[in-house]
Structure 1
Amino acid sequence: MSLSLEVSPLVRQARDASARAAAAARIRVVDESDLDRLRDVEALLITVWGTSPHGAPIPTDLLRSISHAGCNVTAAYSENGTLCGAAAAIVSPGNASMYSLIAGVLPGLADNGVGFALKQHQRAWALIRGIETMTWTFDPLVSRNARFNLTKLGAHADEYLENFYGLMEDDINAGDQSDRLVAVWPLTSRESVACSEGVPLATVLPGFGPADVRGIGPDGRPSVAESAGSLWCRVPTDIVALRGRDPEQAAAWRASVRDIFSTEFGRGRSAVGVTRGGWYRLETGGQQ
């Protein structure tokens, strides 16, 4: 991939936003290719996700290959030089888009801005190379990740993939089916630029009454409602804890959300934001 010699205003904005995000999180974010440090990245990914019968989420040799191929391996280091977050992404044929394979931060740092800084670094990395879209998949039941992706970054989703990876075998997801939403992050959109400047999308669940309820969740409470011109769909606030406490209810949520999203995406709706309480906003015609 060749880098443009002329820096556009949007690239400058992305670089500046990335630098501010790293400063706010009090970390240093870099492209990583050193073999020993890639071993540290593998260890961090194991700390976050554990292992499966296949081994580490992404082993060192594959990270090395991704970096050597000119794709993206990003590492975040704390002020004392400790690796605290990492991400990896590959580039699709023709440099049409960037596909994020994995991104994670050490436990306990989820609210410190490390993940946001990693993604803003990747955004700048892509735009420098003329890549304007990034995609990845995520579990629709993990509301915290969904809110980060759609509300804080400005991505959207309109594709539901049923059991994408097959039955999960890692330490966090073991025994669950791997349904995924496809996040599409338009790196140059008005929403993504605003989010990069620290202004997340306003996603607030409007009040609704019994007549607005369109579905009841496995916990017996409203899970689908139509209000203020939008359709809203609720997911559990902590699906990992629910799987451990009540696996049958967790499986029922999987089936319920699968049906709702598949149906609504088929009708032309997109998921464009998530509230703190785990309600997705589904709109016709994309972001609004």
Structure 2
Amino acid sequence: MQREVWGFSDADLIPVRMFVVASKIGGQVIGAFAGQTIVGFALSIPGSRDGRTYLHSHMLAVREGYRNSGLGRRLKLAQRDDAIARKFELMEWTFDPLEIKNAYLNIEKLGAIVRRYTINQYGISSSRLQGGLPTDRCIAEWWLNSNRVRQVLEGGRSINVEPEMVIRVPAHIYQWKNDPASRDRARDTQLANREEFLKAFSRGMAVLGYGRDGEGNGSFLLAHPEEQFEFSSETERETASSCT
């Protein structure tokens, strides 16, 4: 499925044993099935931040015939249910800010926020989705019990944001990445947006909303958050060591 979804070469594939290890050290391996056929999965591994443990969702994939059906969101919600049951407060993952649909899901449908940006996180990737560009990534923070996340999940979409900054992604970005003749336009967009993200985050802003217009263009909406997104002051409880 990794080859089907991302077009990875063998060198970039995550081996089966990594899924086994993740399930045994406190991570998550969650599958979605149609009968006996797996049509989606999510893989998470435990991480540490500020002396507290969290879950890093490293992979989520849905087969082509099952996309745009809400399955990706259902897999994320299954991750959240399991994480909360094991007393985790935070899940994180990276995503390509040039992927408009994915950004919309993360911000608007799940309630994640973004306060960090990494340049060429994974090095040059064999994935056809990357188009040979550097693997720049936004880091999504999903504060599982925050008021924001609860409101988004109960209401079906994010709350209104009065943006202090807007970072735009043109709908043509997919065409530009896939066409060598126009790839420089995709690269220019990535570089310009990279500078905007780094500037905004250095000023304490966060991505709090995401807009899409009728032509499919995307817009990151940034502002200074009013809610505090941080670990609670309670003593961290022990978590279970595996997820089925």
Q: Does 2:27 align with 1:71? A: yes
Q: What does the per-residue CA deviation read over 1:157-187, in whole Å, with 9 as the maximum and x for residues that have no partner? A: 0111111111222232242101111100000
Please give the secondary structure, in 2, of the residue aligned with 1:116: helix
- Which 5+ residue runs of structure 1 have no aligned equivalent? 1-43, 205-227
With normalisation by structure 1, the TM-score equals 0.71
* Residue type of the alignment partner of 1:266: S
Q: Which residue of 1 aligns with 2:120?
A: 163
Q: Does 2:39 align with 1:84? A: yes
* Residue type of the alignment partner of 2:42: A
Structure 1 residues 120 and 190: CA distance shift in structure 2, 3 A: same
With normalisation by structure 2, the TM-score equals 0.83
Which of 262, 265, 271 is matched with 2:198 structurally?
A: 262
Q: What does the per-residue CA deviation read over 1:178-206, in whole Å, with 9 as the maximum and x for residues that have no partner? A: 111110000001221233335211458xx
Give the 4+ runs in structure 1 shifted more than 3 A.
none
Tell whether the 8 Å contact from 1:157 to 1:181 is kept in structure 2 after alignment.
yes
Richer in helix (by share): 1
TM superposition shift of 1:52: 2.3
Tell whether the 8 Å contact from 1:269 to 1:286 is kept in structure 2 after alignment.
no
Equivalents in 2 of 1:229, 1:140: separation in Å?
A: 17
TM superposition shift of 1:238: 5.1
Bigger relative CO (Cα 8 Å, ≥ 6 apart): 2
Please give the secondary structure, in 2, of the residue aligned with 1:178: coil
Q: Which residue of 2 aligns with 1:129?
A: 86
Q: Which residue of 2 aligns with 1:252?
A: 188
Aligned length: 220
Counterparts of 1:41-120 in structure 2, within 5 Å, are 44-56=1-13, 58-78=14-34, 80-93=35-48, 96-120=53-77
Equivalents in 2 of 1:238, 1:86: separation in Å?
A: 29
Q: What does the per-residue CA deviation read over 1:45-64, in whole Å, with 9 as the maximum and x for residues that have no partner? A: 221112225142x2212111
Which of 152, 165, 170 is matched with 1:231 structurally?
A: 165
Identity across matched positions, percent: 32
Tell whether the 8 Å contact from 1:268 to 1:284 is kept in structure 2 after alignment.
yes
TM superposition shift of 1:95: 5.9
* Rg (Cα) greater in structure: 1
* Residue type of the alignment partner of 1:230: E
Structure 1 residues 234 and 184: CA distance shift in structure 2, 3 A: same
The alignment yields a C-alpha RMSD, in angstroms, of 2.0
Please give the secondary structure, in 1, of the residue aligned with 2:84: helix
Tell whether the 8 Å contact from 1:155 to 1:186 is kept in structure 2 after alignment.
yes
* Residue type of the alignment partner of 1:285: P
Q: Does 2:131 align with 1:195? A: no
